[in-house]
Chain A
Amino acid sequence: MLDGRGSIRRRSGARLWLSAVWLTLFVLAALLAPWISPHDPLAQDLMLGRLPPAWVAGAEPGYWLGTDSLGRDVLSRIIHGARIALVVALIAGTATCLLGSALGMVAGFYRGWADRLISRLVDIWMAFPPVLFAILLIAVLGTGLTSVILAIVIIDWTRFCRVVRAETLNQSKMDYVHSAKVAGFTRLRTLATEILPNVLPTIIALLTLEMGIAVIVEAILSFVNLSISTDQPTWGGMIAEGRTSIHQAWWVLVFPLVALFLTVLSFAQFGDGLRERFDPVLR
């Protein structure tokens, strides 16, 4: 038993570090995009269309990851695409987290009609296929960054709400919450000082997970051509384009896909690692 626990701890350490390294790279790429990308991500040059990556025969020096059918540099587009991904991850992730957690805590702590109403809403939301819901919302709200973020918040708050509600409900049954009530603390204060700290590790793990999901949703919307305007480089848009030309130029699909893969994986693993490290029960 002791051994098993130790090895889990060690594995979570490696996970945490590896994902932190990639996320740092991701954030740096997004922040420094105009300075570090070798080319203008929008510059088209049909003479340089579908150049393979640097290590493949027929490559042009300077275009490390090749170019797409319009001759745009894949590496520069990935670096610039990280900007949108980061904005969506941070803003949509945080907003979703705040809305969902707040509703979840209210439902789980105050119970009564608020709980019934919120739980019913969650049920209804769970009966929608989320991707279809997102596409529908974008169709109604119009494309653009704000719409994408709004759509993610509207769809995904239930993810937080369900978990936080259940967790709050569990915590509310604990003795220390009961004694806080007996001690005469107000309900709000009990919620803030007794319950929130115990639910927080879960919320944080969910938050990083949600950031990864937000990036994916943006990519999916870009993929069906419903996200940001088409001249902004996004990973999803690149993937959509790469999907149509996989047999001619696999690199147009592979590299943004790898970036997306690593980012989503890192967000999830980072959150899990954090929770394992900071959960008062596991610790």
Chain B
Amino acid sequence: MSGFLEIRGLSARLAGTGQRLLRSVDISLPAGCVRGLVGESGAGKSMIGKAVLGVLPKAVEIIEGEILLDGQDLQKVSPAERRRLIGAKAALIPQDPLTALNPSRRIGPQITDRLVDILGWTKARATTRALEVLAEVSIPEPERIMRLYPHELSGGMRQRILIASAFAAEPKLIVADEPTTALDVTVQKQILKLISELQARHGTALLFVTHDLGVVSKVCDTLSVLYAGKVVEDTTVERFFAAPQHGYSSALLAATPRHTDPSSSLKPVPHEVLETVAAEIAASDAAWRPNGGARG
């Protein structure tokens, strides 16, 4: 069975230096399921989200592999077609609500623009839909809010609006890029719950990028653990928390402070574990190099 999103053997590097960023990544996400992408910063988890949505920075080039969205290979269609496909079938919940809304545009058009411009809805239908989703994320007085500018709203409100905007077009896939990291701890929980509820209600596939295993345990069905651009473990949430297979995963799990034990502090991943992973990666790079022909 193939998922709504299928990433197969995706490798990417930095254009200038040739530094490897993603190493033959495989990810499968069936419709309506939630997969966490976990790893330390720089592990490439956000990079995968960006690749799926077609917004990789110009300096990053995909060397090989395919990204199938609803069965269509995004690498094989024209850039314009790719944009249209992604705009129609996927959406992003960004990390920082303070910078993800355009400060010089009112809230309303920032929700309805995709519906009207990309999906070809009428203005009236788009506005009705926007009011609907705003109500769904418990925004009071949605008519009034839609006329406001982003700076007139709090961070939590803005994140709700961004979530509403992501769900407005009923996408089959949503990429949530650390959607709670920039928020206050008290707001974090509400937002997380909100995303979970909406995902379940709309049956959306969700790719949840985070560094927080606690969040993964609450939201996700499956997860991929990344280290240095490589998926070191691909498993279900239950199995992962019961018995992580990979050394790095167990170390990561051990490093995460338990919510049950507030006294435990964040422990670093042991050095030996990191060395083992690095050796594995070097080995896979060496195996890959001759046929791929990439040179540092």
Query: Which A residues are closer than 8 A to B by beta carbons?
Result: 1-3
Chain A residues, CB < 8 A from B200: none
| 6 A–B contacts, CB within 8 A, in A order | A1-B16, A1-B59, A2-B16, A2-B17, A3-B15, A3-B16
Task: Assign chain B's interface to a size class.
Answer: under 10
- How distant is A145 from chain B, measured CB to nearest CB, in Å? 53
- How distant is B253 from chain A, measured CB to nearest CB, in Å? 36
Alpha-carbon distance between A1 and B17 when the two chains are bound, in angstroms:
11
Query: Which B residues are closer than 8 A to A by beta carbons?
Result: 15-17, 59
Question: Who on chain A is nearest to B16 by CB?
Answer: A2
Chain A residues, CB < 8 A from B59: 1
Alpha-carbon distance between A89 and B67 when the two chains are bound, in angstroms:
62
Chain A residues, CB < 8 A from B17: 2
Alpha-carbon distance between A2 and B19 when the two chains are bound, in angstroms:
13
- How distant is B181 from chain A, measured CB to nearest CB, in Å? 24
Chain A residues, CB < 8 A from B16: 1-3
Alpha-carbon distance between A246 and B17 when the two chains are bound, in angstroms:
56
Question: Who on chain B is nearest to A3 by CB?
Answer: B16
Chain B residues, CB < 8 A from A2: 16-17
Alpha-carbon distance between A148 and B59 when the two chains are bound, in angstroms:
53
Chain B residues, CB < 8 A from A1: 16, 59
Chain B residues, CB < 8 A from A3: 15-16
Alpha-carbon distance between A1 and B57 when the two chains are bound, in angstroms:
11
Chain A residues, CB < 8 A from B15: 3
Question: Who on chain B is nearest to A5 by CB?
Answer: B16
Alpha-carbon distance between A1 and B16 when the two chains are bound, in angstroms:
8
Alpha-carbon distance between A1 and B59 when the two chains are bound, in angstroms:
7
- How distant is B40 from chain A, measured CB to nearest CB, in Å? 23
Alpha-carbon distance between A197 and B15 when the two chains are bound, in angstroms:
37
Closest 6 CB pairs of A and B: A2-B16, A3-B16, A1-B59, A2-B17, A3-B15, A1-B16
Question: Who on chain A is nearest to B15 by CB?
Answer: A3
Alpha-carbon distance between A3 and B59 when the two chains are bound, in angstroms:
9
Question: Who on chain A is nearest to B14 by CB?
Answer: A2
